[in-house]
Amino acid sequence: MPAQHVRTIRTPHVTLIVDYHTGDVAVLTGATLATWLSMLQETPTVSVTSRQGSVVAGLAARGWLITGREGQHRTPAVYLEPSPASWGTQEAATQLNPIAASPWWWRLAAVPAVLVTLAVRHIGHSRRRFARMVALANVGSRLTPATADSARHAVRAVRWAARLIPARVACLEESVAAGLLLASAGCRARWVHGIAIDPLRLHAWLADEAGRPIDEAADTIQYTPINQDQTGGARE
């Protein structure tokens, strides 16, 4: 059966999977897609042919299949609706946007939070890099929810600190560092990883308990969360 750390995303035009251990994203086609959907029980299960057997072996070799009791808990596929045609009218900023103010103590604490996030990203086996980042993003999952002000201050402080450090800090690193910063303050926000289509793209951000993005661009609503369970909690 498909492993729990693998997400299946079905769009009107393509089916892809996201591996939450490695961060790999793969598009499934042909026999691989048919076999995968059969294992998800989205199509009637059929006897495994020799060709399907080789497909199963390939999927298992990548760690995307499991056997035994773990396989009894399937992660359902995420279905994405077609996006409305934009006709090329979407605008994108050509320069970095100004960062809204945050208290100096939040900015000061954000610097080590960003540095720790970058260290976790680079130290260790590269095939487990994404898994380490996901674990760090959810380090405060049992803490009290952050207030709206604290969550905004954390996100803005991390963005401020990221511009001081000569390293790549994109949405993944930024959201993880902000979550770590909140955890160090004894509170939490939800780490969300989502996907949008036309074109296919991934994004990570923090959200409040109601699922509202924290200090994010308006177009974040175009992304469908793929790391949340039915109750809204994060899954690894």
Q: Would you state the pLDDT for residue 73?
A: 59
pTM, rounded to two decimals: 0.84
Q: Looking at the structure, do residues 71 and 141 belong to the same domain, yes or no?
A: no
- What average pLDDT score do residues 4-17 get? 90
Above 60 in pLDDT, residue 72?
no
Q: Would you state the pLDDT for residue 83?
A: 75
The tally of domains found in the chain comes to 2
Q: Looking at the structure, do residues 174 and 129 belong to the same domain, yes or no?
A: yes
Q: Identify whether 85 is part of a domain.
A: no
Pairwise pLDDT comparison (108 vs 197), residue with the higher score = 108
Q: Identify whether 211 is part of a domain.
A: yes
* Closest alpha carbon to 227 in 95, 122, 162, 135: 135
Q: Would you state the pLDDT for residue 87?
A: 67
Q: Identify whether 134 is part of a domain.
A: yes
Q: Would you state the pLDDT for residue 177?
A: 98
Q: Looking at the structure, do residues 146 and 71 belong to the same domain, yes or no?
A: no
Last-in-domain residue among 79, 95, 123: 79
Q: Looking at the structure, do residues 108 and 151 belong to the same domain, yes or no?
A: yes
Q: Looking at the structure, do residues 116 and 166 belong to the same domain, yes or no?
A: yes
Q: Looking at the structure, do residues 110 and 215 belong to the same domain, yes or no?
A: yes
Above 50 in pLDDT, residue 235?
yes
For residue 213, give the DSSP letter.
Answer: B
In degrees and rounded to multiples of 5, residue 222 shows phi and psi of -75, -15
Are 162 and 195 contacting, i.e. CB atoms less than 8 angstroms apart? Answer: no
Which tokens sit at 200?
Answer: 């296919």
Which of 49-58, 164-173, 218-227 has the lowest average pLDDT? 49-58
Above 90 in pLDDT, residue 113?
yes
- What average pLDDT score do residues 6-31 get? 90
Q: Identify whether 59 is part of a domain.
A: yes
- What average pLDDT score do residues 32-58 get? 69
Q: Would you state the pLDDT for residue 90?
A: 65
Q: Looking at the structure, do residues 112 and 216 belong to the same domain, yes or no?
A: yes
Considering the chain, what is the average pLDDT of its residues?
85
- What average pLDDT score do residues 163-180 get? 96
Q: Looking at the structure, do residues 43 and 129 belong to the same domain, yes or no?
A: no
Last-in-domain residue among 29, 62, 79: 79
Q: Would you state the pLDDT for residue 33?
A: 87
Range of the domain at 207: 104-225
Question: Could you tell me the pLDDT band of residue 46, with boundaries at 50, 70 and 90?
Answer: very low
Q: Identify whether 90 is part of a domain.
A: no
Relative to beta strand 6-10, strand 15-19 is antiparallel
Which tokens sit at 149?
Answer: 């002000």
Question: Could you tell me the pLDDT band of residue 44, with boundaries at 50, 70 and 90?
Answer: very low
- The owner of tokens 């402080």 is 157
